[in-house]
Structures are given as structure tokens and as C-alpha cells.
Amino acid sequence: MSHKHRLLVHTSRQHIRWGDMDALGHVNNTVYFRYMEQARIEWLFALFPPGAAFQGTGPVIVNASCTFLEPLVYPGEFEVRMFLGDPGRSSVNSSYDLVSGGRTAAEGAAKIVWIDLATGRSAPLPNVVVAPLYAAARD
């Protein structure tokens, strides 16, 4: 994702669980995607009134990636900082910094596409998603 326009939209504080670790003594690579998902869901539910996040339309992830820089280990806590890039008509790129002890442990990305839940076809991004991005691009 281009970092030309990247707006911090949510920060999630999370705890490493014992079950997140693998036989090598660090958080399993697949769990990082769950950490990013948790941040994304918190952001989404903060945008909409209770119960309205998945009425008619909603987000799906069409691709995701993660670059692992330093291992996370139990016990510990960390932040997932979620950013959004320039929006398209029905999609927006998100990126994630997983930060522990002031150091970036991983960097991730996921393309979010808004869809009509009844048809599965793409739908325009809601104004509540794009308005802050357009405002940031003007600055």
C-alpha cells in the first residue's frame, strides 16, 4: 500500500494469550492476522450505532499480508495501529503496525471491499468511512 495518504483510524490495545504461542516459543504467524482482525472489527463497530454494522452492506477482506519483524511472546501486550489509505468507490486499503515496547513487531495490510450483503456485489463505501479520509487528503 502506498503510504502517501495514511490516516490513523483506530488503536487497539491487546494482550498476548498463552494459546497464541507455538512450539517455537513465540506468537504463531497466523495469530497476527487475528490481532489485525480484532482492531478492524473494533474500528468498524465504533463507526456504526449498535447493531447497525452489518445491515444491508458490510466489509469483506479480499487480500491480507503481514511482514514479521520481531517476535511477540507471552506474557505481553501490544498495540495494533490501524490506518486507511486513499479510498476507491467500494474499497480502501488498510495497514497495521503491531507495536510492543515502542518497537514495531509486524506490519500488515488488508484490502477492504464494501459489499451488498444480499447480492455479494461491491457497494459504495459508506460516508462514515470515507469522510475522514477525504478530510485528511485535503490537509
Q: Tell me the per-residue pLDDT of 55-97, one tens digit each, with 9 for 90 and over.
A: 899 999 999 999 999 999 999 999 999 999 999 999 999 999 9
Q: Is 129 helix (H, G, I), strand (E, B) or coil?
A: helix
Q: What is the pTM of this model?
A: 0.92
**Which residue has better confidence, 135 or 81?**
81
Instruction: Kindly state the percentage of the chain with pLDDT values over 70.
Output: 96
| CATH class of domain segment(s) 9-138 | alpha beta
Residue 37: per-residue pLDDT: 98
pLDDT of 5 strictly over 60: yes
pLDDT of residue 2: 41
The DSSP string of 25-90 is: SSB-HHHHHHHHHHHHHHHHHHHS-TT-TTSSEEEEEEEEEEEE-S---SS-EEEEEEEEEEE-SS
Say which DSSP state 122 is in. Answer: B
Phi, psi of 7 (to 5 degrees): -110, 125
